Structure formats: C-alpha cells, structure tokens
Amino acid sequence: MAYAIKIRGVIVCFVTAVVITALSLSAYYSGAYAVWFGKSSAKLPIYSVGTEQKVVALSFDCAWGTEHTDAILQALERENVAATWFMVQFWAEKYPDFVGKISAAGHEIGTHSATHSYMSRLSAEEVRSELRSSSAAITSVTGKPVELFRPPYGDYDDLLIETAQSEGYFTIQWDVDSLDWKDLSASDIAMRVISGVRPGSIVLMHNNGLHTAESLPIVISALKNRGYTFVPIGQMIYRSDYTLDHEGRQQLT
C-alpha cells in the first residue's frame, strides 16, 4: 500500500511538472510571459514614457466626421495646449481645411493609416503603401513630415511594427483611454483621464467625440493643478537609447 501511494505521488509530481512546463511555454509564446517576467518576445508600440517629469500628451484620432472638432480646437487654444492628432487618409482628403487648421494651430499630426483597416492582417508591402500614401496626404496640406503612426483599433503585430520602423515611424499606442467614443458624459470622460494619468502618459481621445470638447477644460485644469504640463507625443517620447518594458513604457538605457 505504501509503495502504491509512493508511486502515485511520483506520477502526480511528474504530471504537474509537465503541465507547468507546457503552461510556461504557452505563456512565453502568447505574450503572457512578458507580464509575468517583465520581458517580451514580441515587439511593442510605445504606450507611455518612463519619466519623473509631470508631462502628459493628449491625442485625438481622426477617422469620421468633424462636427465637434472646432470645439476641441477652441478648448485647447483657450488652455494653450498642443496635442497630437492621428489622421486616416480618407479623413485628411475629405477635410483638408481641418488638416490645415489643426497644423496651423501648432498641433502635431501623425498618420492613422490610409484605410483604417486591421493592419496586422496586411503584408509588409501593403503596410508600406498605407503609411506612405496616408503621410503624403497629410504632408501635401501641412508641408510637414509625418513621423508618428497609430494603428487603427490598436491592432498590431511584429511585422507591422518592424515595417513602420523601417519606414521611419514611431508606432504609438496609449495608456489612458478616455472612451469618449462611447459618448460618455464630460464628467465621466474627465474622471477616466484624470484618474489614469501618470508622468509620461499618452491619452486617447477622438476628434468627433460627443462630449470630448466639454471634458477638456476639466481634464486640463485638474492636471495642471497637479503640476502637469501638456506636450505633443513627439516632444515627449525618447528617440534613441531606450527600451520598452512589458507595458510598452519607454525607459532610457
């Protein structure tokens, strides 16, 4: 009996070891390894910047409509805040007057792709085409080069990031999501942003959110009172000598 119990114990230990090994390998290749051990086998976009300075970047994705865009621009102008706007090519071509207006107001403009598709499903050549044509549409209006890229839907893979990098782009995500596209109230949007911001945060908003413009004075005032300053993403990120941790947060090397 004792021998049988001992054998069963050995078998249980063996099976447990096999399961743990299998789970560990699965975690490594699925990306969970990055969360558990602070390393990543996959390439990541920039989600935020590791800094002790109280800086934060507001960003606006432009894909549909302009009904609320002037109100957002006015709110930013009143607070003397420059932000980053990511534009889809078909939006930029449909509203070139807004592209020019945003650029003339001192804001930074990046590309949000040409067609707003899931770009992880595209080939490298298709990605290059999206980046080049969308950037050309923006530059034709502003006269300024485009160096920042935000993938639609936050969707990316290694090929996308590598291709964008080879084309000279920094791929940008966010670590604070306002959820303004859900038509939350101004106070709810503001609460999400204010409670989520830390030094080096990138905030995701949209150019045509129903209550985005109303939320901005609340957000900006509250964060300024906490000692934050607002800068475009391109002025906040590190351009070289950095690594990305498992959260996609830049750290100087």
Return d(Cα 163, Cα 131) in angstroms, integer.
Answer: 10
Catalytic residue among 68, 107, 116, 206: 206
Return d(Cα 76, Cα 58) in angstroms, integer.
Answer: 10
- SS3 of the chain: CHHHHHHHHHHHHHHHHHHHHHHHHHHHHHCHHHHHHCCCCCCCCECEECCCCCEEEEEEEECCCCCCHHHHHHHHHHCCCCCEEEECHHHHHHCHHHHHHHHHCCCEEEECCCCCCCHHHCCHHHHHHHHHHHHHHHHHHHCCCCCEECCHHHCCCHHHHHHHHHCCCEEECCCEECCHHHCCCHHHHHHHHHHHCCCCEEEEEECCCCCHHHHHHHHHHHHHHCCCEECCHHHHCCCCCEEECCCCEEEEC
The distance between the two most distant Cα atoms of the chain, rounded to a whole number of Å, is: 85
Reply yes or no on whether 241 is catalytic: no
Reply yes or no on whether 61 is catalytic: yes
Catalytic residue among 61, 68, 116, 180: 61
Return d(Cα 250, Cα 243) in angstroms, integer.
Answer: 6
Q: In the chain, what is the straight-line distance between the N-terminal and C-terminal CA atoms, in Å?
A: 60
Residues annotated as catalytic are 61, 206
